[in-house]
Amino acid sequence: MVTRSPGFHGGHFVFIPQPQPNIDMTSTTPALQSASLHYREGNSDKVYHAAIGPKGEGYLVTFACGRRGQTLNTGIKTTYPVSLAEATRIFD
């Protein structure tokens, strides 16, 4: 999606990525299950976090990954709430 910034001047567009719905890696709701992994070799220093958390009547599997110390990429492995058994299968 392309949107104009409030200070639109001279024909310049500002590209604003749209957030994915239902992703909140800063939620204070405790995760039912979570894991944090890291990989370090040579110049590579990466981290991966995943969690199962409640959402409505089901559960979501969320993740964050990237270089340690940098802004992590976040996402969701389930597009809608699923059963705990299905969330656990996806998480594992």
Instruction: Tell me the per-residue pLDDT of 42-71, one tens digit each, with 9 for 90 and over.
Output: 999 999 999 999 999 999 999 999 999 999
Q: Is residue 6 part of a domain?
A: no
The pLDDT value recorded for residue 67 is 94
Task: State how many domains the chain has.
Answer: 1
Asked whether the beta carbons of 50 and 61 are under 8 A apart, the reply is: yes
Q: How high is the pLDDT of residue 79?
A: 87
Is residue 15, in this structure, part of any structural domain at all?
no
Q: Is residue 65 part of a domain?
A: yes
More confident of the two residues 9 and 83: 83
Considering the domain boundaries, does residue 26 fall inside one?
yes
Contacts of 21 (CB under 8 A, 6+ apart): none
Task: Band the pLDDT of 31: cuts 50, 70, 90.
Answer: confident
Calculate the average pLDDT of the chain: 76
Q: What is the pTM assigned to this prediction?
A: 0.63
Rg (CA), the chain: 17
Please give the residue range of the domain that contains residue 85.
21-91
- Higher-confidence position of 24 and 42: 42
